[in-house]
């Protein structure tokens, strides 16, 4: 019974700590349930303590029978509450894993195009509230099909992963990186004007030119980059990626391995 009491208290303490840690955010359903399970475990421990004290003063056979039955019930409650705790914690972990699968590219680990739509909407709203700028940098690896054809898709995948690592190195904490298409990546830059976004794009191209990819092959990789900046008076959020994509294709038509910017975004 003492073990049951101690286990109940420890579970309650752990749950209380997690609830306190998450208090600044809305409690998810699983954590609300965990709160009530922990309250039940605390009551379980309190009843166990009372039974221990009473049994000391009333060691009669009838009370021992009552105490044994009560202890058995407490054990059942303990097992049920722990089972629910494990189930709900596992369900939350599974839910998190499923969201990761739905929002992240499995090869590079960065956010996917589907998640970009949601984040773009939030960033556009934020920019409107703060009257700030929002820029997009679209990067496409030049002649990527030739890499796949010459060295195989495994090497192509490694190039994508290494280019992703380079982009992660250069982006700020407030920026969002997405895999937009096969070999296309999009950087969404908060509080950034066209000039600053263009400077970042040029820096990215410089880093790509300097680096050699896939160590045993030392491949040279270049990219074409398009830059666009959201003007809240002229455009909605959905026009920003399209504008960066249009600028990107201007860079490709202009000879690749270069940056092009779109000065004005057409109204949607």
pLDDT tens readout for residues 193-238 = 999 999 999 999 999 999 999 999 999 999 999 999 986 665 567 7
Task: Kindly state whether residues 258 and 205 are assigned to the same domain.
Answer: yes
pLDDT above 70 (res 26): no
Mean pLDDT of the region 95-111: 78
Domain assignment present for residue 267? The answer is no
Single residue among 103, 135, 162 that ends a domain in this structure:
103
Domain assignment present for residue 227? The answer is yes
60-93 confidence digits (pLDDT tens): 555 455 555 666 666 666 666 666 665 655 555 5
Single residue among 53, 85, 103 that ends a domain in this structure:
103
Single residue among 69, 86, 103 that ends a domain in this structure:
103
Angle at 158 between CA 222 and CA 149, to 5 degrees: 70
Q: Mind telling me the catalytic residues?
A: 183
Domain assignment present for residue 268? The answer is no
Task: Kindly state whether residues 228 and 133 are assigned to the same domain.
Answer: yes
Task: Kindly state whether residues 49 and 158 are assigned to the same domain.
Answer: no
Query: What's the DSSP call for residue 267?
Result: P
Task: Kindly state whether residues 117 and 181 are assigned to the same domain.
Answer: yes
Task: Kindly state whether residues 257 and 126 are assigned to the same domain.
Answer: yes
Domain assignment present for residue 117? The answer is yes
- Render the burial of 10-28: b for 16+ CB within 10 Å, e for the rest: ebbeebeeeeeeeeeeeee
pLDDT above 80 (res 44): no
Task: Kindly state whether residues 198 and 248 are assigned to the same domain.
Answer: yes
Domain assignment present for residue 68? The answer is yes
Task: Kindly state whether residues 254 and 135 are assigned to the same domain.
Answer: yes
pLDDT above 50 (res 251): yes
What pLDDT was estimated at residue 96? 60
What pLDDT was estimated at residue 102? 73
Task: Kindly state whether residues 138 and 187 are assigned to the same domain.
Answer: yes
- From start to end of the chain, where are the E strands? 111-112, 134-141, 176-179, 184-190, 212-213, 219-220, 223-230, 259-262
Q: How many domains, the chain?
A: 2
From 27-36, 73-82, 236-245, 252-261, the region with the lowest mean pLDDT = 27-36
Domain assignment present for residue 58? The answer is yes
Domain assignment present for residue 158? The answer is yes
Domain assignment present for residue 116? The answer is yes
Task: Kindly state whether residues 96 and 174 are assigned to the same domain.
Answer: no
Angle at 73 between CA 6 and CA 75, to 5 degrees: 35
Task: Kindly state whether residues 125 and 250 are assigned to the same domain.
Answer: yes
0.75 exceeded by pTM:
no
Q: What is the CATH number of the domain that holds 118?
A: 3.30.70.270
Task: Kindly state whether residues 177 and 237 are assigned to the same domain.
Answer: yes
User: The domain containing residue 200 runs over which residues?
Assistant: 111-262
Rounded Cα distance, 129 and 126, in Å: 5
Task: Kindly state whether residues 35 and 150 are assigned to the same domain.
Answer: no
pLDDT above 90 (res 158): yes
């Amino acid at each position: 019974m003492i073990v049951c009491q101690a286990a109940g208290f420890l579970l309650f303490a752990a749950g209380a700590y997690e609830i306190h840690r998450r208090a600044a955010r809305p409690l998810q359903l699983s954590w609300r349930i965990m709160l009530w399970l922990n309250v039940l475990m605390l009551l379980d421990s309190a009843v166990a303590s009372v039974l221990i004290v009473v049994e000391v003063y009333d060691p009669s056979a009838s009370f021992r029978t009552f105490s044994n039955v009560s202890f058995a019930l407490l054990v059942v409650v303990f097992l049920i509450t722990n089972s629910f705790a494990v189930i709900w914690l596992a369900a939350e972990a599974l839910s998190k894993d499923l969201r990761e699968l739905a929002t992240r590219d499995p090869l590079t680990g960065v956010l996917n195009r589907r998640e970009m739509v949601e984040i773009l909407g939030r960033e556009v709203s934020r920019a409107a509230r703060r009257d700030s700028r929002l820029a997009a940098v679209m990067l496409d690896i030049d002649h990527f099909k030739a890499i796949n054809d010459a060295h195989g898709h495994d090497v192509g995948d490694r190039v994508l992963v290494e280019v992703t690592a380079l982009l992660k190195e250069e982006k700020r904490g407030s920026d969002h990186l997405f895999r937009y298409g096969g070999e296309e990546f999009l950087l969404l830059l908060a509080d950034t004007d066209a000039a600053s976004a263009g400077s970042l794009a040029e820096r990215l191209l410089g880093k790509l030119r300097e680096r050699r990819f896939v160590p045993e092959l030392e491949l040279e990789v270049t990219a074409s980059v398009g830059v666009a900046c959201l003007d809240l008076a002229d455009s909605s959020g959905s026009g920003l990626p399209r504008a960066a994509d249009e600028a990107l294709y201007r860079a490709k038509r202009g000879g690749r391995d270069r940056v092009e910017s779109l000065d004005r975004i057409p109204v949607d």
